[in-house]
Amino acid sequence: MNHFLRTASMSAITIQQHILSEQQRFPGASGEFSFLLSGITLATKKIQAQVRRAGLTQILGSAGNENVQGETQQKLDVYANEAMIDSLAMRGSVGVLASEEDEHAIVCPNEEGDAKYAVVFDPLDGSSNIDVNVSVGTTFSIFRRPDDACLSDPDRWVLQPGNRQIAAGYVVYGSSTVMVYTCGNGVHGFTLDPNVGAFILSHEHMTMPRQGSYYSVNEAYSNDFPSHFGDYIQHVRNGKLGRSYSSRYIGSLVADFHRTLLRGGIFMYPPTQTHPEGKLRLLYEANPIAMIAEQAGGIATDGSRRILDLQPNAIHQRTPLVVGSEVEMREFESNFCPANSG
Ligand code: P6P
């Protein structure tokens, strides 16, 4: 094999190279946007290094306190949160951060006053699965500063509807570490090569199958769900969508959604008695997932309204989430959603 062929076969595309090519779509971004995204990739490499060693470094177990959600913070939650903040706060172009682990938005040091972006994230989603070695994930969502927003009112930077995200994505720490992101120009996946320490393009232009063969819901709460959700699940179970389905539920949103993105099907977290507004958080769980889903040809609602059109009023606001393939989602919307089916 001649040199060029050999080189070509080795020329993997790193996420940095891909981000730079995406950068061209943001005139005037002058490299700040790609620098911001590289801050996220750096943080997630640090997080995955700890997730991979959790059982070895006594990092398991709770940090002994609770986060704003009233959930016991795992030490890895704290580490992951600090990794994201440390990697993003000093990027210059970032003015405001909002994290699942912090009650209030974080204003970043910005002497020039020219910060353009806000980043919202869940540093380690599904962390209750850490000690049992089940996949967990990091989610992120990036907004431009609203024209009339200033750093004295940080909430204005992040309380934007998901349709204003300029980029969103997640990292799933599973059998391999995969980052999936979109800048509004399709969905692309990168697998971390631990030998090189780089995210390498492994899934270009990801599209969700029009129909899958999995439904994903915590069936322990079936008696709690509004009846149309249970009716729909029974409809799917009875083969009314033209095929048999399997149930898959990991209890880690990023992992459950990643399977739905790759294999199709439907994921549902309906309202329950414990969480009548839904359990999942709009800003840093539903919104990034919904942007990825729509960019890949899927659909994401709160059971009746498009997730990306919801106007948030609070950073930790919760929402029901129904997300998945076109066939399953249209069937739910047309024949089971009270708002549409009359
Ligand atoms: P349940 C993890 O705590 C999380 O926020 C999501 O990652 C996951 O989809 C959901 O909660 C699981 O909730 O009530 O089924 O355990």
Q: How far is the CA of 238 from the centre of ligand 1 (A)?
A: 26
Strand 94-99 and strand 117-125: pairing?
parallel
Q: How far is the CA of 251 from the centre of ligand 1 (A)?
A: 5
Q: Report how far residue 39's alpha carbon sits from residue 94's, in angstroms, rounded to the nearest whole number.
A: 10
Instruction: Pick the atom of ligand 1 nearest to 125's CA.
Output: 7
Whether the pLDDT of residue 276 is over 70: the answer is: yes
Confidence of residue 2 (pLDDT cuts 50, 70, 90): low
Quick one: 192 and 224 in the same domain? Answer: no
Whether the pLDDT of residue 315 is over 90: the answer is: yes
- Residue 100 belongs to domain spanning: 11-203
Q: How far is the CA of 317 from the centre of ligand 1 (A)?
A: 15
Write down the pTM of the prediction: 0.92
Confidence of residue 110 (pLDDT cuts 50, 70, 90): confident
Mean pLDDT on 254-260: 98
Quick one: 233 and 183 in the same domain? Answer: no
Q: How far is the CA of 254 from the centre of ligand 1 (A)?
A: 10
* Any domain includes 107: yes
Quick one: 68 and 40 in the same domain? Answer: yes
Quick one: 225 and 270 in the same domain? Answer: yes
Quick one: 156 and 250 in the same domain? Answer: no
Whether the pLDDT of residue 7 is over 60: the answer is: no
Confidence of residue 61 (pLDDT cuts 50, 70, 90): low
Mean pLDDT on 172-195: 95
- Structure-block tokens of residue 21: 């090519």
Q: How far is CA 124 from CA 63, 197, 204, in A?
A: 14, 20, 25
Question: Whole-number mean pLDDT of the chain?
Answer: 90
Mutate which of 122, 249, 253, 267 for ligand 1? The one with the most ligand atoms within 8 Å of its CB, which is 253
- Structure-block tokens of residue 102: 């912090």
Q: How far is the CA of 38 from the centre of ligand 1 (A)?
A: 28
Q: How far is CA 69 from CA 75, 77, 102, 157, 281, in A?
A: 15, 13, 9, 21, 10
Q: Report how far residue 235's alpha carbon sits from residue 205's, in angstroms, rounded to the nearest whole number.
A: 32
Lowest pLDDT segment from 49-53, 115-119, 180-184, 236-240: 49-53
CATH number of the domain that 82 lies in?
Answer: 3.30.540.10
CATH number of the domain that 270 lies in?
Answer: 3.40.190.80
Quick one: 83 and 181 in the same domain? Answer: yes
Quick one: 194 and 222 in the same domain? Answer: no
pLDDT at 337: 87
Q: Where among 147, 172, 203 does a domain terminate? A: 203
Separate counts of helices (H) and strands (E) for the chain = 10, 17
User: Residue 286: CB within 6 Å of ligand 1?
Assistant: no
Instruction: Pick the atom of ligand 1 nearest to 128's CA.
Output: 3
> What residues have CB less than 8 Å from 142, skipping those under 6 apart?
36, 37, 117, 118, 119, 120, 165, 166, 167, 168
* Any domain includes 239: yes
Three-state DSSP state, 230:
helix
* Any domain includes 342: no
Strand 321-324 and strand 117-125: pairing?
unpaired
Q: DSSP string of 143-167?
A: EEPPTT--TTSTHHHH---GGGEEE
Q: How many CA atoms lie within 13 A of 227 on its CB side?
A: 1
Quick one: 148 and 286 in the same domain? Answer: no
Instruction: Pick the atom of ligand 1 nearest to 249's CA.
Output: 15
Lowest pLDDT segment from 10-24, 80-94, 205-219, 314-328: 10-24
Quick one: 100 and 134 in the same domain? Answer: yes
- Please state the domain count of the chain: 2
Q: How far is the CA of 252 from the centre of ligand 1 (A)?
A: 6
Three-state DSSP state, 125:
strand
* Any domain includes 283: yes
* Any domain includes 341: no
Quick one: 233 and 306 in the same domain? Answer: yes
* Any domain includes 4: no
Q: Where among 183, 203, 223 does a domain terminate? A: 203
Quick one: 110 and 183 in the same domain? Answer: yes
- More confident position, 330 or 71: 330
Q: Where among 179, 203, 227 does a domain terminate? A: 203
